Amino acid sequence: MKAAVYYNNHNIRVGELPKPTIGKGEILVRMKACGICGSDVLEWYRIKKAPLVLGHEMAGEIVEIGERGEKGELGDNLGGREMANTFSIGDRVFVSHHVPCMRCEYCLNGLHTCCETLHTTNFYPGGFAEFIRVPEMNRKLGTYKLPENISYEEGTFIEPLGCVVRCHRLANMKGAKSLLIIGAGMSGVLHIQLARYLGVKRIAAADISEFKLAMAKRFGADEAYRADEKLSERLKEKFERVIVCAGAPQALQDACTYVGKGGIIVPFAVPPPDVSVSLPLVDFWRNQITIMTSYGAAPRDLEESLELLKEKKIHAKEMITHTFPLAEAGKAFQKVVEGKDSLKVVITNN
């Protein structure tokens, strides 16, 4: 089968890999569409494991179903969240690459993305391949049938939107008075749309790209500002919530400037681990500022994401600016790395 192997951002090689064989309780999915995530082009994050097949925003068609596993192999009910096992060949599905155990102390306390199981589960070899082997754990807790009104391409938004859903829930976004999004790429635009749906009264976006600022306005931002040295002259008011969707250290420092008293900052994107950022802790202490993080998505977040897409509360299809066949995965990655005129780039296998 064909697969796109990542060596670095500028070296994506499409070649042949053995087609996966499935075992008991597993399924084989033919990839139909897989989105390129911003994290896929974070070299400091990805290159340490290269070469590998990336891709975790994958939707496809079930082509093989393994023999049913023995009852109790993974526990009787996997923490009460086991999904329906009524899959058939030909089903259109989205598959989550990571799934939590639903039984550890982290899962039971709502910290699913801290679960050790979540960080060790994955499908093989990755979404940028013709066929993907889905382990039994992922089949039971992370495989979702796509409703008829959600295309494969739209299905690639389930995971990134699930991450946004989790962030907004943790940050108590519903009904907030004001929100600033720093970084108006794909994640930033999803934050804007969800905030609008949740009733946030004032939504502003800041970015260095005029293209992305235009996209922010198109998808619901009330205000859009160029993030340069004059930003402080344009933004006079403070915000209840600030979500940072850019990994530049300056973006996090800007968030500290524009958050209001009693506000919340969420670093949704982070700088490389060897970069330090100075935070005004005295101001945080005096003004009761909260800085919180949100990583990944749990099953409840993915389920809510799927429902939002089904009900067309989030306009995913319109966010797709480019699609490339699997054979042109290298070009697709370059489009994301350049970031000039792309919002969401999807690789297809039709």
CATH fold of 2-161+297-348, please?
Quinone Oxidoreductase; Chain A, domain 1 (3.90.180)
What is the pLDDT at residue 226?
Answer: 94
Residue-wise pLDDT for 72-112, tens only, equals: 445 444 544 454 458 999 999 999 999 999 999 999 999 99
- Taking CA 39 as the corner, what is the angle to CA 34 and CA 42, rounded to the nearest 5 degrees? 125
What is the pLDDT at residue 80?
Answer: 46
- Give the span between the Cα atoms of 302 and 308, in whole angstroms: 10
- Give the span between the Cα atoms of 65 and 27, in whole angstroms: 5
What is the pLDDT at residue 73?
Answer: 47
Torsion of CA 319, 293, 241, 187, to 10 degrees: -10
Residue-wise pLDDT for 296-315, tens only, equals: 999 999 999 999 999 999 99
- Give the span between the Cα atoms of 96 and 123, in whole angstroms: 8
- Give the span between the Cα atoms of 76 and 62, in whole angstroms: 25
| Chain centre distance of CA 290 | 23
Residue-wise pLDDT for 19-72, tens only, equals: 999 999 999 999 999 999 999 999 989 999 999 999 999 999 999 999 876 554
Using the Cα atoms of residue 229, residue 231, residue 233 and residue 236 in order, give the sign of their dihedral: negative
Domain boundaries, the chain: 2-161+297-348, 172-291
What is the pLDDT at residue 173?
Answer: 96
**Contact 242/180 with Cβ under 8 angstroms?**
yes
Residue-wise pLDDT for 155-195, tens only, equals: 999 999 999 999 999 999 998 999 999 999 999 999 999 99
What is the pLDDT at residue 236?
Answer: 84
Q: Which two tokens stand for residue 192?
A: 């804007």
Determine the average pLDDT of the residues in 118-144: 96
What is the pLDDT at residue 69?
Answer: 64
Torsion of CA 5, 8, 11, 17, to 10 degrees: -10
Percentage above 70 pLDDT, the chain: 95
What is the pLDDT at residue 151?
Answer: 98
Please tell me the CATH superfamily of domain 172-291, with its number: NAD(P)-binding Rossmann-like Domain (3.40.50.720)
What is the pLDDT at residue 75?
Answer: 45
What is the pLDDT at residue 86?
Answer: 80
Tell me whether strands 57-65 and 92-95 are parallel, antiparallel or unpaired: antiparallel
Residue 174 phi/psi, 5-degree rounding, is: -55, 125
Using the Cα atoms of residue 102, residue 103, residue 104 and residue 110 in order, give the sign of their dihedral: positive
What is the pLDDT at residue 79?
Answer: 46
Confidence band for 231, pLDDT divided at 50, 70 and 90: confident
The three-state DSSP-derived secondary structure of the chain is CEEEEEEECCEEEEEECCCCCCCCCCEEEEEEEEECCHHHHCHHHHHHHCCECCCCEEEEEEEEECCCCCCEECECCHHHCCCCCCCCCCCEEEECCCCCCCCCHHHHCCCHHHCCCCCCCCCECCCCECEEEECHHHHHHHEEECCCCCCHHHHCCHHHHHHHHHHHHHCCCCCCCEEEEECCCHHHHHHHHHHHHCCCCEEEEEECCHHHHHHHHHCCCCEEEECCCCHHHHCCCCEEEEEECCCCHHHHHHHHHHEEEEEEEEECCCCCCCCCCCCCHHHHHHHCCEECCCCCCCHHHHHHHHHHHHCCCCCCHHHEEEEEEHHHHHHHHHHHHHCCCCCEEEEECC
| Residue 230 pLDDT exceeds 90 | no
Residue-wise pLDDT for 198-210, tens only, equals: 999 999 999 999 9
* Exposure string over 125-151, b if 16+ CB within 10 A, otherwise e: bbbbbbbbbbbbbbbbbbbbbbeeebb
Q: What Cα–Cα distance (Å) separates residue 291 from each residue in 161, 205, 230, 242, 331?
A: 21, 19, 25, 10, 37
User: How would you class 66 by CB atoms within 10 Å of its CB: exposed for 0-12, middle for 13-18, buried for 19 or more?
Assistant: middle
